[in-house]
Amino acid sequence: MINLETPKKFGPLVSQAHQVATEVFRPISRKYDVAEHEYPKELDMLASLIDGMNEGSDIGGAGAAGVRRDDKDQNGENRNGSNLSTVLGIIELCWGDVGLLLSMPRQGLGNSAIASVATEEQLEQYGGKWAAMAITEPEAGSDSASIRTTAELDGDEYVLNGEKIYVTSGERADLVVVWASLDRSKGRAAIKSFIVERSNPGMKLDRLEHKLGIRASDTAAFILEDCRVPKEALLGSPEVDVKAGFGGAMQTFDNTRPLVAGMAIGVARASLDETRMRLTEAGVELDYNTPALSQSAAAARFLEMEADYEAARLLTLQAAWMADNGKPNSLQASMAKAKAGRMCVDVSLGCVEICGSLGYGENDLLEKWARDAKILDIFEGTQQIQLLVVARQLLGKSSADLK
Amino acid sequence: MSATTDRGMAERGMGFGLRALNRLAGSDLLDRIRMRKQVERALFQSTKQGFRSATAASRSFKAASKLGRPARQPRAKSSGLFDVTPDDEQAMLQEAVGAFAAEQVRPVALKADADRETSKELLDHASELGVTILGVPEDLGGVMPERSAVTSVLVSEALAHGDMGIAYAILAPGAVATAISLWGDADQEATYLPAFTGEDVPAAALAMLEPRPLFDPLKLDTKARKDGDDWVLDGVKSLVPRAKDCELFVVAAEAEDVGPALFILESSTSGLSVEDEPAMGLRAATTGRLLLEGARVPGTAIMCEGDRDAYNECIQRARIAWCALAVGTSQAVLDYVIPYVNERTAFGEPISNRQAVAFAVSDIGIETGGMRLATYRAASRADRGDDFAREAAIARKLCADKGMRIGSDGVQLLGGHGFIKEHPVERWYRDLRAAGVMEGALLV
């Protein structure tokens, strides 16, 4: 039966996450925006708390703990599982602060990758550690198939060489999941991901970036120089299956795109909530029964933004729900990410405009959210890449046809 | 220039004959004496009068057996889980209506649009599917055991995938049946619903929209004043589906000392007349204006004693219904442009190999998805008895903005071919504008 409300059983999780956002994130939000690269030590205690939440319950915790597709036969029973609960948690936490969520110990994208594709042995070995993800290179952003970092098998070890940038939590994490090619002549099929200990002497921190937004989150650049990792550090299958192509490495993204979309939803709602409050203070009423054009321009604009927000939110929940129910969701995941990414930028910037100097000034957080928003339309696949993925699926095109 | 002279000009204008009329129109005398506008308007008004006609004769609506209290569909019980899947019954209905839309609606849509008429056979066939009585309680001959806004949405969406104008014509009587089922008292239900659950479903319309800019359903120009025990209604209702055939109207009017309210009017009520009102789209629904000039109905014609919540709910349910049509038509655009852009070649390859084209298709898919989910959410809240004013407003905003954009992009992607009637996208362009214009008229 069609029901698009937040499931009751996730009520406690959502409210816990909201508490964290309100009590932990918001009070230090501006502090770590200003003090870029400083470690938000307040998060350590919180991270332990969340680890406890992950272990103690089947509702998956509040952060990017990893999302496994559930392919179990459910006899047609509808399921609301960890994909949905994780998205819901993320929305709340990012309502608090997306930069801080990205800085949450042991909640990195690398954790997601490990949780999504690791073997039982790997889970055992690396579980409980904080893992960052290193994909992008100076010459390969969206085109992740063209990465130049190489991995060569030498006895029982792989030897990694190359340069990685834009590694979220790269300085603070315990592990970095590095994408590298086993054979550059074999294209995307040869790209595999490797778990590298942060302490590995072959992986050197080159610098931390200064950014437009999400300044609480450290963004690192690494140089890999004869970086040796054990054979068992490879995630997934070591086979170079040209036919299977990129599927293995990209599988993580089908599961994480809705999570990043969720971040955008959270930031947008923060902006909308604040703006609604400011408008009410300013005496601007919003009535849902009165046509938008018969209300004030600000109210009409607000409704328009709220509508876009709601469309993005529902697309995101749908994509997560599909993953919970073992339905292929690559199309919906990209749709959600595309819509949420652009919505978040439009909405947060629109809110700054509506609130004027209150929105633009640093006394309030609206301007910060508008800066944070932009990355959400870029990382985990830019707007344009999502539109490509969507178009290829809708039109039945290969990446050779539709470049 | 006095009004009397104005009318005189107009009356003479009617007798001029075409050639004379043309000469008058082409003459710069009118422009020189600055009276072109007035003459044109007067001509328009008097031409309209010429086409004005009486409303259809209504059948005799008589209460057969009356229940002690009004029957209502019970609320649907939800498992509380997030779910985007229709239940089995809904899926079956969706499939049946989808097949009907593909096999019987789409093939005649071009002709129905040109003729401004949906055939009697098609209307009869559709009511056999039960689409007009989804909102009628089972006790009164309905087919759905529970509240069914979601079912109505799914059915409306499937029909509109065939054609929005025909869907409007088909679903319009259902709006009256649903209104009476939701807000009618036992007498009203007993009097009017049997006609809808029988074989010969009457043409009927929920008339809310009025012909003025910035129409607001909460501020109606149509007035109902109390006269003894009766209500007397005056005003004009716009884009009423199959107005000249309607036997029954539910009319929104500002009731004296009450506020906006719904009234039931049989077409034989004196003081009612209709005139043709062709529009940009929805042409298969033969839209017309309903004119109320001292239309007198008994005190019992008001619904819910003018309860404001019921009236607001009516506004909201109508908006959801129009969203459902916009979703169906937007999906039709998507399904039509995909093969087109894949097959159409330019510069030596399919145009869909170009990002500018492909991304437009992606956006149609994304926004249609968002519109659909927002519409479903509003409807499912309605079924559960939750407040859904916000959700309905949001769905409407999305469908008005994105739906129109999709209509426009549908034509754009076909280029010059999109502009000619060989392809349905020009019709969808015209129809999709309705999603932001229409109020009332349909209900889920």
- The whole-number average pLDDT for the span B395-401 is 98
pLDDT digit string, tens, across residues B144-187: 888 889 999 999 999 999 999 999 999 999 999 999 999 999 99
Other beta carbons within 10 angstroms of residue B248's beta carbon come to 25
- A289 — contact with chain B (CB < 8 Å)? yes
Mean model confidence pLDDT for chain A: 90
> What pLDDT sits at residue A52?
67
- B residues 383-412 lying closer than 8 A (beta carbon) to A: 384, 386, 389-395, 397-398, 401-402
Domain that holds residue B181: 88-202
Q: What is the pLDDT of residue A239?
A: 85
What domains are there in chain A, each with its CATH number?
Answer: 8-122 (1.10.540.10), 130-235 (2.40.110.10), 247-395 (1.20.140.10)
| The last residue of a domain, from among B148, B177, B202 | B202
Among B202, B221, B237, the domain-final residue is B202
Q: Is B48 left (phi over 0), alpha (psi -120 to 50) or beta?
A: alpha
Q: Is B44 within a domain?
A: no
Domain of residue B127, CATH code: 1.10.540.10
A287-292 CB contacts, 8 Å cutoff, 24+ apart:
A288/B389, A288/B390, A288/B392, A288/B393, A289/B217, A289/B218, A289/B312, A289/B315, A289/B316, A289/B389, A289/B393, A290/B216, A290/B218, A291/B214, A291/B215, A291/B216, A291/B217, A291/B439, A292/B393, A292/B397
Q: What is the CA radius of gyration of chain A?
A: 21
Cβ proximity of B179 and B314 under 8 Å: yes
Domain of residue B345, CATH code: 1.20.140.10
pLDDT at position B18, please? 40
Q: Which is nearest to A83 in space by CA: A109, A61, A110? A: A61
Q: Which residue, B184, B202, B220, sits at the end of a domain?
A: B202
Total domains, chain B: 2
ipTM over 0.95: no
Beta-carbon contacts of residue B319 (< 8 Å; ≥ 6 apart):
B378, B392, B393, B395, B396, B439
* Identity of the residue in A306, A332, A391 whose CB atom sits nearest the CB atom of B362: A391
Digit-coded pLDDT (tens) for B65-83: 777 788 898 888 878 999 9
Q: What local confidence, expressed as pLDDT, does residue B34 receive? A: 53
Contact yes or no for A308 and B398 at CB 8 A: yes
B66 token code pair: 């009356």
Mean pLDDT of B291-308: 96
Residue B36 in this model has a pLDDT that exceeds 60: no
Q: What is the pLDDT along chain A (403 residues), one digit of tens a residue?
A: 899 999 999 999 999 999 999 999 999 999 999 999 999 999 988 887 777 665 544 333 334 444 555 555 566 789 999 899 999 999 999 999 999 999 988 888 888 888 878 888 998 999 889 999 999 999 988 887 789 999 999 999 999 999 999 999 999 999 999 999 999 988 888 999 999 999 999 999 999 999 999 999 999 999 999 999 999 999 988 888 776 655 555 666 777 899 999 999 999 999 999 999 999 999 999 999 999 999 999 999 999 999 999 999 999 999 999 999 999 999 999 999 999 999 999 999 999 999 999 999 999 999 999 999 999 999 989 999 999 999 999 999 998 999 9
pLDDT digits (tens, 9 = 90+) for B243-265: 999 999 999 999 999 999 999 99
Is B383 part of any domain?
A: yes
**Contacts for B207 with CB less than 8 Å, ≥ 6 apart:** B237, B240, B249, B250, B251, B252, B290, B440, B441
DSSP, res B61? -
| Closest to A220 (Cα-Cα) out of A210, A229, A230, A212 | A210
Residue B400 domain-assigned (yes or no): yes
User: In this predicted structure, what is the pLDDT of residue B364?
Assistant: 98
Q: Classify residue B258 by burial, with Cβ atoms within 10 Å: 0-12, 13-18, 19+.
A: middle
Which candidate in B93, B314, B320, B366 is best for mutational testing of the A interface (most A CBs within 10 A)? B366
Residue type at position A151: A
Given a cut of 50, is residue B21 above it in pLDDT? no
Q: Which residues of A are catalytic?
A: 380
Radius of gyration (Cα) for chain B, nearest Å? 23
pLDDT at B205: 98
What is residue A13's predicted lDDT score, i.e. its pLDDT? 93
Q: Which residues of B touch A311 (CB under 8 A)?
A: 367, 369-371, 373-374, 398, 402
Instruction: Give the model's pLDDT for residue B346.
Output: 96
Residue B38: burial class (beta carbons within 10 Å; 0-12, 13-18, 19+): middle
Structure tokens at A150: 């190489």
For β-strands A175-181 and A131-134, DSSP reports them as parallel
Taking the CA of residue B173 as centre, how many other CA atoms within 13 Å lie in the half-sphere pointing to its CB?
26
Interface subset of A 78-117, CB within 8 angstroms of B: 78-80, 84
A181 near A135, Cβ under 8 Å? no
